[in-house]
Structure 1
Amino acid sequence: KIDGGRRRRKECGGDSKSIGIREMSGISTAAYFARRAAQKERVRILYRRALKDTLNWAVHRHIFYRDASDLREKFNANQDVEDVDRIDKLIAHGEAEYDKWRHPDPYIVPWAPGGSKFCRNPTPPAGIEIVYNYGLEDNP
């Protein structure tokens, strides 16, 4: 009874916005919100990847800014879509489009895995010891 009886009104068919959402999608409200949260995360990841890949294609910043604005407009065009199945189709289409136009030789930060400086200075073998006070150590 913490919710003041609101749950009972929803279960009995009272007019509530969450009931309308559940009836529209054919799934429970919690499942609907969980699916929408997962979709928002997929869209966020797709946008970040596409934006970073745009930086690989655009050599100069003024070109990148224009391409980034175009990319943002594409994402904003479908911002108000509410149908979860249509959103899934749009995400799948966007991911396919991203895979199609992905840069064949992306920029990798030199010290990151796959970069030109990654593991350039490997760790020393297990038997080697570093002496910091060279010449001042105790010799028995």
Structure 2
Amino acid sequence: MSARALQTQQVKRLYRHSLKNLLSWAIRRDIFFEEADQLRGEFEKHKDVSDVGQIGRLIQKGEAKLKEYQHPDPYIVPYYPGGSLYARNPPFSKELHQQLDFGREDH
């Protein structure tokens, strides 16, 4: 894999993680969209940089900034591992069967 392709992948990952981190800080959608536009503007500002060394330095600065602004209690989707609903209602074991006959069904 070329250095340029690897850096492109790193930039995409950095942008995605930055958006996820931003969602933990700005939970109201209107504020999130404004902040996301500013974040996108920061990435767009450097889109024409072609020097591999300079791109590497920009990625390092971005990752350091992401680490600095990491939320201490990040938002986790409730049904993902670590979320408040994760495995709350685990599936029944195969030995148990669901009884749907409540006495009103015709036999």
TM-score tier, shorter chain, comes to 0.7 to 0.9
> Which residue does the alignment assign to 2:40?
72
1:40-61 Cα distance to aligned partner (Å, 9 max, x none): 1110011011112112211322
Number of positions where the alignment pairs a residue of Structure 1 with one of Structure 2: 101
Q: Determine which of 22, 26, 34 is the counterpart of 1:58.
A: 26
Q: TM-score, normalised by structure 2?
A: 0.81
Q: SS at the partner of 1:118? A: coil
Q: Distance in 1 between matches of 2:66 and 2:84?
A: 25
Indicate the structure whose relative CO is greater, using CA pairs within 8 Å and at least 6 residues apart: 2
Q: TM-score, normalised by structure 1?
A: 0.63
Deviation of 1:97 after TM superposition, in Å, equals 0.3
Q: Distance in 2 between matches of 1:65 and 1:132?
A: 45
Distance 2:29 2:76 in 1: 17
Q: Which residue of 1 aligns with 2:52?
A: 84
Tell me which residue corresponds to 1:130: 96
RMSD over equivalenced CA pairs, Å:
2.1
Structure 1: 5+ residue runs without aligned partners? Answer: 1-30, 136-140
**CA deviation digits over 1:69-121, x for unaligned, max 9?**
11011111111111111111110110010010011111111110110111223
User: Structure 2: how far apart are the matches of 1:81 and 1:62?
Assistant: 31
